[in-house]
Amino acid sequence: MQGVSNVQKTANAVIIGGGMIGCSLAYELALRGMKDIVVVEKEYLCSGATGRCGAGVRQQWGTETNAILARDSVKRFEQMNEELEYDMDIEFKQGGYLIVAYTEGEWTQFHKNVAVQKSLDIPVEMVTPEGAREIVPHLNIDGLFGATFCQTDGHANPFHVVDAYAKAARRLGVVFETYTEVTGIVAENGKVKTVETTRGNIDAPLVINAANYAAGKVCKMVDFDLPLYPQRHQALVTEPVEPTQGPMVISFSRRLYCQQTPHGSFIMGVGDPHEPKDFNINSSWDFLEDVSRQVLSVLPLLKNLRVVRQWSGLYDMSPDANPILDEVPDVQGMWVLAGFSGHGFMVGPQTSVLVAQKIMGEKCFMPIEKFGLDRFRRGELLLEPSVV
């Protein structure tokens, strides 16, 4: 734990949140020449949503925006150990994603999704039920319309990824203040001025809110209501067994994702459409029963696996399941990067490039305005159909 010393009094930028988004953005800004960056995290790095995520990385999205961010992030994951000169291994394994359709509506949507993905040169294929079972031999194909498969999708270790970004950022001069909670933000004359923390105040002309599910609370510190709400998602991990499943298997209609890690354990979860909008991260028996029913309907071979533990995390849900990357209205210098709706880890590497390009005055590789807050007022939402 950090000592009781105060934080430094001034910075060029303060980033709130020490997860995937905060740490990767700190690196990208420092890489582009920004000096004197401070990342403030209320606990330890990767202690929030990133450390509780399933850590899957897929490019199979229904909106062009998410597909581009994911496609380019996969390329970054593939080279991350080398790019960040990491002294360990982020454990990025590309076993693929098999996304199955048990309803006609899903299968129709998959045709639309694949058209988007192929237009972006994402190596995805539509497969028959028999073809899907060749990829995952223990898949239940009763009632299956078909599936989509992308071999370059995969899974990484979120703790190692955040550690890699943090170490690379530190080498570029970024300061990380852990166990330091933001208690207030001061703005004067329409500009952000000061970040107040439990270890002192930091004056900065640029404040970046990368606090995930707590981003709404941070925005309220400058009297702005962010259109975002927290939603609990639960997951479990089983005992390790011999390798039996290469790809992640996803069923949207059954709200399920399931993958086998490189260590042999299975990680799985289901989404609950009736989950209340609050900050509850307690675990429940209902989840264990629900995920068991759903996974056995898709992957019946797993019925005798023993559960080692379960946990919960929070999605930062936006109205259209797409991120919000924008400056807060009427508070110049305060940015918000939130609303990833459970997918910030997989699109984080390239999202941080996009935001860093914008902040540093570089040409953005795609129009960042698509992720602006104004889209909600205009009613031009980027509705993402492929969310578990």
Position 109 pLDDT exceeds 70: yes
Provide the pLDDT confidence category of residue 1 given band limits of 50, 70 and 90: very low
Note whether 63 and 322 are within 8 A (CB): yes
Note whether 357 and 363 are within 8 A (CB): yes
The token pair that represents 298 in the structure block: 């898709």
pTM as predicted? 0.96
pLDDT in tens, 31-83: 999 999 999 999 999 999 999 999 999 999 999 999 999 999 999 999 999 99
H/E run at residue 186: strand 182-188
**What is residue 4's predicted lDDT score, i.e. its pLDDT?**
66
The token pair that represents 301 in the structure block: 């071979």
Mention every residue, 6+ apart, whose C-beta is less than 8 A from residue 215.
17, 209, 226, 228, 316, 336, 337, 338, 339
**E strands, 239-301, where?**
248-251, 256-260, 266-270
Which domains, and CATH codes, for the chain? 13-52+159-228+320-378 (3.50.50.60), 93-152+229-316 (3.30.9.10)
Lowest-pLDDT range, 14-23, 94-103, 247-256, 377-386?
Answer: 377-386
Residue type, 172: L
In the chain the first and final C-alpha atoms are separated, in Å, by 35
pLDDT in tens, 205-234: 999 999 999 999 999 999 999 999 999 999
Provide the pLDDT confidence category of residue 380 given band limits of 50, 70 and 90: confident
Residue ranges in the chain assigned as alpha helix (H):
20-31, 64-78, 80-83, 104-119, 129-135, 158-171, 215-220, 285-298, 344-359, 374-378
Distance, in Å, from the CA atom of 354 to the CA atom of 350, rounded to the nearest integer, reads 6
- Position with higher pLDDT, 377 vs 296: 296
The token pair that represents 321 in the structure block: 């399941």
Backbone CA torsion sign across 325, 153, 233, 104: positive
